[in-house]
Amino acid sequence: MPVILLGTFDTKGVEYQFVRDLLHTIGLATLTIDAGVQGPPLFTPDVPRDRVFEAAGTTLAAIVQAGDRGRAVTSAAAGAAKLVAELHQQGKVDGVLALGGSAGTTIGTAAMRALPFGVPKLMVSTLASGQVKQYVGVRDIMMLHSVVDISGLNRISRTVLANAAYAMVGMVRGQVHWLPAADLPKKPLLAATMFGVTTPCVKAARQLLEQQNYEMLVFHATGTGGLTMESFIADGIIQGVLDITTTELADELVGGILSAGPDRLTAAGLRGVPQVISLGALDMVNFGPRDSVPEKFKDRRFYQHNSTVTLMRTTPHENDLLGKEIAQKASAAKGSTTVLVPLRGVSAIDSEGQPFWWPEADRALFQSLRNWISPHVQLLELDMHINDAEFARIAAETLLNIISN
């Protein structure tokens, strides 16, 4: 199978030709896809730009006539993503390597995000030393800073591009020689969510589940973690979910910095994956340093976790809304779903004597769940704290039971 080289072969043709020839010298096949519009490609690509724009539902002629750079990049990204996904489905992708500035990075990473976890993905970008969340998303994309602009070959760019080629060689060949197929793990995969304030619960539950021959993927509920877990579930590789820590819902509702978006807590339901849901860290909304907290929250209850993390206690009203949201999403699930309620507190700092202990706020959360949950969803209320060992045991055994039934 080939390594896909995807980009604008008019403005970056020299650099792509250098990488292509180096890969060929090392012994890797390539498939080149041109997404340029400004001039003719430096070399003849395997997949011409016409097909890229046709895959995006338009034509090269229409894009050229419009003369709109933003539209051209958006269409190229959409078309490239569709073509690369189709090539992967046909078993024709060993990896993807792209080069570029803002346009090339947008196009290249759009295609990479269309591929599943494990396919080597390497983006050499002028933007790689900055904020790259919008490019990487939840995929395993490697970003390599180009150091100098990708504009001709020189002693710096040659070194960076050669290292990119060698990295791709290592990833592609490493996949072949890493482990014999017979030695690859065959255990079914489970996903769990964890925060520092729910670590004892998740750690204990994970150990119990691993003893039953399951492999656990634990996701840190920091927004990206929840998004990544949801993407793995949507990809169909997760057999059960222990969603202990649903705190990202509070950030989405109130405006904290660790939101996983409005679709958090939906993938398992849509796919019918068995899930156990709890209320971990719903007592808090996350912000950065204290001076970054919006002025409208100045009279709220806070806990300074450290110099860069400020936690704000959720109110009874917010918890009422969160309870309703969880109940509705659980009730819409196609698969077996249980909601576990820790009546003595939902985080390490939500227990008697701790900074976020606020029984009225917790009761609002619990009562909202009771009000809105569908009768076909098991609502299991436990007179325990979320980090009690017994709560972890019940969470693990509940998930095992609904998986097996």
**What's the CA angle centered on 137, arms 131 and 143, to 5 degrees?**
55
Structure token digits, residue 179: 């482990």
Residue 295 is classified by DSSP as: G
Asked whether the predicted pLDDT for residue 178 surpasses 70, the reply is no
Host H or E run for residue 43: none
Q: Work out whether the CA dihedral 361, 364, 369, 370 comes out positive or negative.
A: positive
Q: In this predicted structure, what is the pLDDT of residue 307? A: 85
- Residue identified by tokens 């080069």 is 99
Q: In this predicted structure, what is the pLDDT of residue 182? A: 46
Structure token digits, residue 193: 């969510």
Give me the mean pLDDT over the 391-397 stretch.
98
Output the CA–CA distances (angstroms, integers) from residue 89 to 109, 140, 192, 316, in the order listed. 18, 18, 29, 49
Q: Domains in the chain, ordered, with CATH?
A: 3-177 (3.40.50.12020), 189-404 (3.40.50.12030)
Of the candidates 292, 137, 162, the one whose C-alpha atom is nearest the C-alpha of residue 225 is 137
Give me the mean pLDDT over the 52-81 stretch.
92
Output the CA–CA distances (angstroms, integers) from residue 346 to 47, 244, 245, in the order listed. 54, 10, 9
Could you tell me which residues come within 8 angstroms of residue 168 by beta carbon, excluding any fewer than 6 positions away?
Answer: 3, 23, 28, 95, 97, 120, 122
Q: Where are the beta strands (DSSP E) in 46-163?
A: 95-100, 121-125, 142-145
- Residue identified by tokens 């995807």 is 6
Q: In this predicted structure, what is the pLDDT of residue 405? A: 84
Q: What percent of the chain has pLDDT over 90?
A: 87
Of the candidates 51, 55, 47, 46, the one whose C-alpha atom is nearest the C-alpha of residue 78 is 55
Asked whether the predicted pLDDT for residue 170 surpasses 90, the reply is yes
pLDDT digits (tens, 9 = 90+) for 290-335: 999 999 999 999 999 888 999 999 999 999 999 999 999 999 999 9
pLDDT digits (tens, 9 = 90+) for 352-372: 999 999 999 999 999 999 999
Q: How confident is the model at residue 230 (pLDDT cuts 50, 70, 90)?
A: very high
Amino acid letter for position 173: R
Give me the mean pLDDT over the 7-26 stretch.
95
Q: Average per-residue pLDDT in the chain?
A: 94
- Residue by residue, DSSP assigns 193-260 as EE-GGGHHHHHHHHHHHHHTT-EEEEEE-SSHHHHHHHHHHHTT--SEEEE---THHHHHHHT-S---
